[in-house]
């Protein structure tokens, strides 16, 4: 395990610092915490890939999974609601795929377009994984309704607080990310397993 951690740190740091100018550019549009979140994601993905290739299994208790998703949620909320004041917020788009089409085919800076699409999907993947791991009888239908409701509340709060736009495409991409996280659980379970908690009879 020490070897896996060492290799993960080594490779993730090389990738992270090789793209350092890109991460700094993102701070023009988002809270500086985004740099830390990007670092964690790169490290975790590297760690997962090395464990997968090495055949290493990681057993995690549900308690630790709860703590992780709580910490992650706080970080994500900071990212969503504490943004630089030099940006324009308050736009409304209720036309599905209109903003996505603009990012893909419009005259938009590549970094902004790539980050908006990938982050709106990727940052919500952990919630789909979390649901699948901790729910006793998980269903995609239930997850779909829950994620639509929660993301809609976040979108409305961002708009009301003037910390973001009200965009149906954000909703679509966020929900897609949550559902994708749920779908890849069988692949994820090749590395991360739930630790069975012992039951003590008194």
**Per-residue pLDDT tens digits for 35-81:** 888 899 999 999 999 999 999 999 999 999 999 999 999 999 988 88
Number of domains in the chain: 2
Count CB-CB contacts under 10 A for residue 53: 11
Q: How does strand 92-93 pair with strand 166-167?
A: parallel
Distance separating alpha carbons of residues 102 and 125, to the nearest angstrom:
23
Residue 171 lies in a domain: yes
Residues 76 and 124 in one domain: yes
Residues 106 and 172 in one domain: yes
pTM summary value: 0.89
Range of the domain at 86: 61-190
pLDDT digits (tens, 9 = 90+) for 103-132: 999 988 888 899 899 999 999 999 999 999
- The residue to which tokens 């009888």 are assigned: 137
Residues 180 and 107 in one domain: yes
Residue 199 lies in a domain: no
In contact, 164 and 120? CB cutoff 8 Å: no
- CA–CA distances in Å: residue 47 to residues 3, 8, 43, 61: 11, 5, 6, 18
DSSP codes, 95-147: STTHHHHHHHHSS--HHHHHHHHHHHHHTTHHHHHHHHHH-SS--HHHHHHHH
Residues 15 and 77 in one domain: no
Residue 198 lies in a domain: no
Residues 95 and 176 in one domain: yes
Residues 52 and 65 in one domain: no
């Amino acid at each position: 395990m020490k070897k896996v951690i060492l290799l993960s740190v080594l490779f993730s740091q090389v990738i992270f610092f090789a793209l350092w100018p890109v991460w700094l550019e993102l701070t023009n549009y988002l809270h500086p915490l985004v740099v830390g979140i990007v670092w964690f994601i790169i490290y975790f993905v590297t760690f997962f890939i090395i464990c997968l290739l090495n055949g290493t299994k990681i057993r995690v208790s549900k308690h630790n999974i709860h703590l992780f998703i709580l910490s992650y949620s706080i970080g994500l909320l900071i990212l969503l609601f504490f943004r630089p004041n030099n940006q324009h917020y308050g736009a409304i788009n209720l036309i599905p795929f209109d903003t996505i089409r603009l990012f893909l085919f419009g005259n938009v800076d590549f970094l902004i377009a790539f980050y908006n699409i990938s982050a709106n999907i990727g940052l919500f993947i952990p919630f789909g994984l979390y649901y699948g791991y901790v729910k006793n009888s998980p269903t995609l239908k239930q997850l779909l309704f829950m994620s639509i409701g929660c993301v809609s509340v976040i979108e409305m709060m961002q708009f009301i607080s003037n910390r973001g736009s009200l965009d149906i495409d954000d909703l679509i991409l966020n929900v897609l990310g949550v559902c994708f996280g749920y779908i890849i659980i069988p692949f994820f379970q090749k590395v991360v397993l739930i630790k069975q908690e012992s039951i003590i009879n008194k």
